[in-house]
Structure 1
Amino acid sequence: MDEDALVALAARLAKEAAAAVMAVRAAGFAVERKRDTSPVTAADRLAEALIVEGLREATPDIPVVAEEEVEAGRATAHDGLLWLVDPLDGTREFAGGHDSFAVNIGLVRNGRPWLGVVALPAMDEIFGGIVGRGAWKQDGKGIRAAIAARRPPPEGPVVFASRHYAADPRIADFAKQHGASKVVNIGSAEKFCRLAEGVGDLYPRHGETMEWDTAAPEAVLIAAGGSMADWSGAALRYGKPGWRNPPFLARGAA
């Protein structure tokens, strides 16, 4: 299966998972707590089952690492090529009645994102990208258009930051140091998507994230001409033991 077919597969499954998430939202749901006290819902489990089954059926030779399976103790071996799946990125946002949650399906090759798809279910938007080939956004009518990250405007960059860390003084300090014109606090991988489509410029992250949180959106951002690195300037690596990311800074175009 070539990269166009792979990204089409991810887009189809992300769209189906997004519809399942919205159906759970409409029906009502309970919020449970995982071992690390983070929230989980029926939407997380339903979307993950749908995506994982679809990926394993279509690409049986590519290992799939998915958030809830890892939480349940399932270890998946890989040789540098793997799918990373977050079926509901921003469960806290979803559970809190906000719209900023996402479905992330990313493909990693040799420790770096290769291609990815991010669906924003509540906004009926899907973002996709293949590194080195470009990125796109598809609206609820199925219309797809190329997107590109921008250079910061003369009035100063727009900083996107996590709603959960809105009161973190490091965000205010960062915005001041970079002469930001505005700080927008939202949740999930949506922040990467807004940088990728050129409506934002910087996304500083000090809190913990996992590889499945960032693989797909980093691929979209890089494909759109943006970049992402840890605070020392080193590229993030994927497929690590434990799956944890270091703090990072995502950027639009340089």
Structure 2
Amino acid sequence: MIEIAIEAGALVMRGFRGEREFDAKDDGSPVTECDRGAEELIAARLGAAFAAIPVVGEEAVSEGHSPGELGQRFFLVDPLDGTREFVAGLPDFTVNIALVEDGEPVAGVVFAPAYGELFFGSPEGAAKERVAKDGGRQGAHPIGARLAPERLIAVVSRSHYDSDTDGFLAGHELEATVPVGSSLKFCRIAEGAADLYPKLGRTMEWDTAAGQAVLEAAGGSVRQLDGVPLTYGRRLGQGRADFANPPFVARGRDDPAS
């Protein structure tokens, strides 16, 4: 998964250095040839390595290609999370690949190619690694979410901020509120640079699964507003679209022993 994410990141960066032209999907969100090309690459590589595990990709689903029955294990792929930032020339975009088992994201890779930052998480723990422009890996080191301080650092969506988020954050003592694009918000909490990420508006499962895997491996949590962990594989439930998330809150470590 790491090698595939790095390869897809190189493809995305070639587009980032170019004109960054885009089309609009049916929901008005932007899509670029980098989104499509990176997803095709990731799906092909995952299919070759794990032929028995279905791949659910954002662009394939948005174009009406249903993945069919998923079973207990499947991959969730967002080939270019933060397309709005990408189109605007901002570096806050990522390549996301997650493995889901029984509804839980058990392994995830988040690669931010413009920053050269690679995050990954599994039952063995979470780590961060620098990746050179030529794709060379420079050595991973463990990361961990921090215990909440008295005054929290909140990360919020750069492109999809709303008044509901203001209302939620009003109930917390904050040191700072930092806008961040893409799944990097989960990773900033996972590495101990932030504490809180509320998302009360719409997201999709491919937006969050890899980041959640990294954060939970680092000792943090991602829960719905009722405290239930955020899970995966929703299919047309409760009047929502396939693979749509409910509102959730991501946090750092709340147990010194975790």
Q: Report the TM range for the smaller structure's normalisation.
A: over 0.9
The CA distance in 2 between the partners of 1:195 and 1:34, in whole Å, is: 31
Partner residue of 2:53 out of 62, 76, 88: 62
Structure 1 equivalent of residue 158 of structure 2:
163
The CA distance in 2 between the partners of 1:71 and 1:163, in whole Å, is: 22
Note the 1:31-180 alignment, pairs <5 A: 31-76=22-67, 77-130=69-122, 132-141=123-132, 142-154=138-150, 156-166=151-161, 168-180=162-174
The CA distance in 2 between the partners of 1:128 and 1:109, in whole Å, is: 17
SS in 2 for 1:93: helix
Residue 18 of structure 1 aligns to which amino acid in structure 2? G
The CA distance in 1 between the partners of 2:103 and 2:29, in whole Å, is: 27
SS in 2 for 1:177: coil
Identical positions, percent: 45
Give the structure-1-normalised TM-score: 0.92
Note the 1:211-226 alignment, pairs <5 A: 211-226=205-220
The CA distance in 2 between the partners of 1:170 and 1:37, in whole Å, is: 21
Unaligned runs of 5+ in 1: 1-9
Note the 1:16-27 alignment, pairs <5 A: 16-27=7-18
The CA distance in 2 between the partners of 1:89 and 1:140, in whole Å, is: 18
Conserved? CA contact 1:175–1:183, under 8 Å: no
Residue 250 of structure 2 aligns to which amino acid in structure 1? A
Measure how far apart 1:143 and its partner are.
Answer: 1.9
| Alignment RMSD | 1.1
Conserved? CA contact 1:80–1:239, under 8 Å: no
Give the structure-2-normalised TM-score: 0.91
SS in 1 for 2:131: coil
Measure how far apart 1:73 and its partner are.
Answer: 1.5
The CA distance in 2 between the partners of 1:98 and 1:25, in whole Å, is: 9
Unaligned runs of 5+ in 2: 133-137, 236-241
Measure how far apart 1:35 and its partner are.
Answer: 1.1
Conserved? CA contact 2:153–2:176, under 8 Å: yes
SS in 2 for 1:52: helix
Residue 147 of structure 1 aligns to which amino acid in structure 2? I
Measure how far apart 1:144 and its partner are.
Answer: 0.7
Measure how far apart 1:171 and its partner are.
Answer: 2.8
Partner residue of 1:206 out of 200, 219, 242: 200
The CA distance in 1 between the partners of 2:15 and 2:250, in whole Å, is: 31
Measure how far apart 1:169 and its partner are.
Answer: 3.0
SS in 1 for 2:146: coil
Task: Count matched residues.
Answer: 242
Structure 1 segments, 4+ long, off by >2 Å, are 168-176
The CA deviation string for residues 100-133 of structure 1, in whole angstroms up to 9 with x for no partner, is: 1111000000011110000011101110000x32
The CA distance in 2 between the partners of 1:93 and 1:80, in whole Å, is: 33
Partner residue of 2:181 out of 187, 190, 193: 187
Measure how far apart 1:98 and its partner are.
Answer: 1.1
Q: Which has the higher helix share?
A: 1
Structure 2 equivalent of residue 237 of structure 1:
231
Q: Does 1:252 align with 2:252?
A: yes
SS in 2 for 1:144: strand
Conserved? CA contact 2:20–2:86, under 8 Å: no
Residue 152 of structure 2 aligns to which amino acid in structure 1? P
Structure 1 equivalent of residue 238 of structure 2:
none
